[in-house]
A and B are shown apart, each in its own frame.
Chain A
Amino acid sequence: MSTSSPETAPEPGQVEVRHDLAHVPLAPPSRTSGVFEVFRRRYLLRLMVRREIRARYAGTAFGLAWSYINPFTRFLTFYFVFGVILGRGNGMQNFAIHLFAGMVLVNYFTESVTAGTRSLLSNRGVIGKMAMPREMFPVASMLVSLWHAIPQLVILVVACVATGWVGTGPLWVPDAVGMAASLLGFVIIMVYGTAFGLMFSCVNVIFRDFQRIVQTFINIIPFSVPMMYPYYLIADGERIPTQYHDLYVANPVAEAVMLIQRGFWLPTCDGPCVVKPATGVVQPDFVSDLYSRGFIMLGIGLVLLALGQFVFSRLEKTVPERL
């Protein structure tokens, strides 16, 4: 057996001199170390994310511009319907910013969960034939969704600046606490999105109705967070009994939405952001324990991520034969 080192430069086009494998232990060929394997093979992950991004607008003339056009038109629609036609709904300042800040995270979350749920099934051609850490697929879906959140974030910043410039309110100046809160919001969505993506992608292979079930619940999410309406409508106890308020704010997406609104919407307000239209009484902008709640949510999310990895590693063994 050849004992030359693998560094021996091979002739171009020739097969390399063999490695000396005597010191390499025998191992199961399918052995992986779960999610960590994904980060060990960052290069493949990067290529997969890039592939998805490129393939998305392949063949279109505008290409990446579509990532800006779609959210921008959506923003304009909401601005005209809620801001202009309905006129500053419910005594709130800069309703469009309030709405769009929430939309950035809600879109990111719904996209990563839906794409993550389908990720194994839509890559079945590769999974059935090539051995690689299959956690790669849901994680890549989540990162692709994150990539698509960036143009929306850019539009949000432009909208915030423009609101301060054109409107009567103060100029939008990002503050450290607000930016940290927004970042925390993003991290929360990222962790929960990955956790659900991991869990659901496997379940969806075994039980294919699952992606439809997920879609049903995903459709509820935009309405179950305070973006199309102010938070106080839930909190003041006039419409919904207060005990349900606790349930409402236990939603990690609702928490994340309030965190990003803290960063982008709150600084654009001139004086109190929300007042009750009838009485003019100042209303709370967000849940009172916004920050501590955010960190607790993150902690729960990390536990859920560990659980997601556990579920994934249990179920993924049977994935190739079920595809």
Chain B
Amino acid sequence: MTTSIVVDNVSKTFRYQAHPTLKKMLQGKLRRQQTSETFKALDGVSFEVQQGESIGLMGLNGSGKSTLLKLVSGVMRPDEGEVLTRGRISGLIATGAGFHNELTGRDNIYMNAAMLGMTKDETDAKFDDIAAFADVGRFLDTPVGNYSSGMFARLGFSVAVHVDCDIFIADEVLAVGDRPFKRKCLKRMKEIRESGITMFYVSHSAGSVKRMCDRAIVLEKGRLGFDGDVEGAIKFLHYDGDDDEPDSEESSEDERDDALANDI
């Protein structure tokens, strides 16, 4: 087995206010307050991921999931500790992030693929697959500024899943797109997972994590709360519904996701 991701005692600190004005700073000084208060988004997190493993990253809002993904994908650097990865990383942390509204879908596919590290030849070879998966039809040659939000997200997703990567990061995939597209996404992600790519999957849906992942990591206020099998993680988070009554909307959402996950 080859180690794919090493996260070693990683901490990341943020400031509450990144840009205090001079006035605020002076006021703070006069009142003898501490001007730059900080909080730890991640605090001493350590784990290792083997190649081909599929990890579900869970946790409540604000527990540090997105920060952890940004550290693993290389967008941010840890303040303490180190993050090491092996191979190319792609993913949905940034669906459509590099898109330029004035440019056509076609140009944006090339642009986004290049940002994810693909060469021109690679993109040329996969272009038809990407366009077919995004399924935007004639809109491919119109500026993406005119796209519907669903089309925009589909195009972004389509590029990300076609990058020939070794680590795939998926952040809240099921948040975008209609049901047929969600199904297509999950199917594709299953293919990715089965081809032996290391997968890092973030979701609040216990059902989809159960089906997509063989190991779960739970973050709790920036600390590693749980690392082990998915069932245990769901229990740890009380997502299994024993603890308190989930409101009906949430549970129906869960059921739908479960149904989707069962479909594939």
Chain A interface residues toward B at CB < 8 A: 1-2, 6, 12-19, 21-22, 24-31, 41, 43-44, 47-48, 51, 54-55, 58-59, 125-132, 208, 317, 320-322
Residue interface bits B82-95, CB-to-A below 8 A is 1, else 0? 11111101000110
Q: List 18 A-B contacts (CB under 8 A).
A: A1-B196, A13-B129, A15-B192, A15-B194, A17-B195, A21-B86, A21-B166, A26-B85, A31-B74, A47-B111, A58-B103, A129-B94, A130-B73, A130-B115, A131-B73, A131-B75, A208-B19, A321-B18
- A-B pairs with lowest CB-CB distance, top 6: A29-B74, A129-B94, A131-B74, A58-B102, A18-B196, A26-B84
Give the residues in chain B near A47, CB-CB below 8 Å: 110-111, 114
Q: Does B119 contact A (CB under 8 A)?
A: yes
Interface residues of B in 44-95 (CB under 8 A from A): 51-52, 70-77, 82-87, 89, 93-94
Q: In the bound complex, what is the Cα–Cα distance between A213 and B8 (angstroms)? A: 41
Given contacts A130-B94, A320-B75, A321-B14, contact A21 B103 (CB under 8 A): no
Give the residues in chain A near B14, CB-CB below 8 Å: 321
> Which residue in A2, A29, A55, A127 is a CB contact (below 8 Å) of B103?
A55
Q: In the bound complex, what is the Cα–Cα distance between A69 and B192 (angstroms)? A: 51
Give the residues in chain B near A132, CB-CB below 8 Å: 115
> Which residue in B82, B97, B195 is a CB contact (below 8 Å) of A16?
B195
B84 to chain A, nearest CB (A): 4
Q: For the complex, count residues of B whose C-beta is within 8 A of A.
A: 52
**CB-based nearest A residue for B121:** A43
B103 touches A322 (CB 8 A): no
Give the residues in chain A near B83, CB-CB below 8 Å: 28-29
Give the residues in chain B near A128, CB-CB below 8 Å: 70, 75, 97
Q: In the bound complex, what is the Cα–Cα distance between A129 and B89 (angstroms)? A: 13
Interface residues of B in 205-257 (CB under 8 A from A): none
A1 touches B1 (CB 8 A): yes
Give the residues in chain A near B197, CB-CB below 8 Å: 15, 18
B241 to chain A, nearest CB (A): 33
* Sample of 17 more A-B contacts, CB < 8 Å, known A1-B196, A18-B51, A126-B94: A16-B195, A26-B3, A27-B84, A27-B85, A29-B74, A29-B89, A31-B74, A44-B115, A54-B107, A126-B97, A129-B70, A129-B75, A129-B94, A130-B75, A131-B75, A321-B18, A321-B76
Q: Does B177 contact A (CB under 8 A)?
A: no
A51 touches B51 (CB 8 A): no
Give the residues in chain A near B52, CB-CB below 8 Å: 1, 18
Q: In the bound complex, what is the Cα–Cα distance between A4 and B71 (angstroms)? A: 30
A130 touches B51 (CB 8 A): no
Give the residues in chain A near B1, CB-CB below 8 Å: 1
> Which residue in B75, B102, B114, B191 is a CB contact (below 8 Å) of A55?
B102
Q: In the bound complex, what is the Cα–Cα distance between A317 and B77 (angstroms)? A: 6
Q: In the bound complex, what is the Cα–Cα distance between A208 and B20 (angstroms)? A: 10
**CB-based nearest B residue for A55:** B102
Q: In the bound complex, what is the Cα–Cα distance between A130 and B97 (angstroms)? A: 8
**CB-based nearest B residue for A129:** B94
Q: Does B6 contact A (CB under 8 A)?
A: yes
Give the residues in chain B near A55, CB-CB below 8 Å: 100, 102-103
Q: In the bound complex, what is the Cα–Cα distance between A321 and B18 (angstroms)? A: 8
Q: In the bound complex, what is the Cα–Cα distance between A87 and B167 (angstroms)? A: 69
A22 touches B102 (CB 8 A): no
Most buried by B among A12, A24, A28, A59: A28
Given contacts A1-B51, A1-B196, A26-B85, contact A54 B116 (CB under 8 A): no
Give the residues in chain B near A2, CB-CB below 8 Å: 196
Q: In the bound complex, what is the Cα–Cα distance between A16 and B87 (angstroms)? A: 14
A14 touches B76 (CB 8 A): no
Given contacts A51-B111, A129-B97, contact A30 B119 (CB under 8 A): no
A126 to chain B, nearest CB (A): 5
Q: Does B164 contact A (CB under 8 A)?
A: yes
B75 touches A28 (CB 8 A): no
Q: Does B2 contact A (CB under 8 A)?
A: yes
A15 touches B195 (CB 8 A): yes
A18 touches B72 (CB 8 A): no
Q: Does B4 contact A (CB under 8 A)?
A: yes
Q: In the bound complex, what is the Cα–Cα distance between A205 and B103 (angstroms)? A: 26
A95 to chain B, nearest CB (A): 39
Q: In the bound complex, what is the Cα–Cα distance between A183 and B87 (angstroms)? A: 42
Q: In the bound complex, what is the Cα–Cα distance between A1 and B191 (angstroms)? A: 16
Given contacts A18-B166, A58-B143, contact A51 B120 (CB under 8 A): no
B91 to chain A, nearest CB (A): 10
Q: In the bound complex, what is the Cα–Cα distance between A234 and B177 (angstroms)? A: 66
Q: In the bound complex, what is the Cα–Cα distance between A41 and B114 (angstroms)? A: 9
Give the residues in chain B near A44, CB-CB below 8 Å: 114-115
A9 to chain B, nearest CB (A): 10
B175 to chain A, nearest CB (A): 15
Q: In the bound complex, what is the Cα–Cα distance between A321 and B6 (angstroms)? A: 22
Given contacts A15-B191, A47-B110, A131-B73, contact A126 B115 (CB under 8 A): yes
Give the residues in chain B near A320, CB-CB below 8 Å: 70, 75-76
> Which residue in A14, A18, A30, A43 is a CB contact (below 8 Å) of B191?
A14
